Amino acid sequence: NAGVTQTPKFQVLKTGQSMTLQCAQDMNHEYMSWYRQDPGMGLRLIHYSVGAGITDQGEVPNGYNVSRSTTEDFPLRLLSAAPSQTSVYFCASSFDSSGANVLTFGAGSRLTVL
């Protein structure tokens, strides 16, 4: 059981480039989300999805796009990378979004924007 798989693990981009961080889960979880983690700050929610075809913005959505065409996959797109998007990105999923549900996290994707 792989859980939540993120690729790539490391990426270096130049300002203005675009890229997609991939996230896949094999637990049949309805809820999927993307967080960023920066030094001295808590995990911050970027976008989330409560099911295939449904996405919504989190706390820090600007500069990012998401889509959810299948239950398993939830890619995060950076449209035009900026140095402020240098961070570690985590994809997380849970059974559903109601109540207090435990999140299963991926191993993270470290992005550096030059």
Partner 1 sequence: EDQVTQSPEALRLQEGESSSLNCSYTVSGLRGLFWYRQDPGKGPEFLFTLYSAGEEKEKERLKATLTKKESFLHITAPKPEDSATYLCAVQAFQGGSEKLVFGKGTKLTVNP
Is residue 95 within 8 Å of residue 80, measured between CB atoms? Answer: no
| 45 is an interface residue for partner 1 by CB under 8 A | yes
The minimum distance between CB 80 and partner 1, in angstroms, equals 27
| 2 is an interface residue for partner 1 by CB under 8 A | no
Report residue 77 as tokens: 């797109």
Residues constituting the chain: 114
Report residue 39 as tokens: 């030094």
Applying CB under 8 A, which of residues 102, 112, 113, 114 lies at the interface with partner 1? 102
Residue span binding partner 1 (CB under 8 A) among the ranges 11-19, 63-71, 73-81, 100-108: 100-108
| 19 is an interface residue for partner 1 by CB under 8 A | no
Applying CB under 8 A, which of residues 4, 21, 66, 76 lies at the interface with partner 1? 4
Alpha-carbon distances of 3 from 28, 80, 91, rounded to whole Å: 10, 30, 11
Sheet holding 76-78, edge to edge: 4-7, 19-25, 76-78, 64-66
14 vs 102, beta carbon nearer partner 1? 102
Residues that bind partner 1 (CB under 8 A): 4, 40-45, 90, 92, 97-100, 102-108
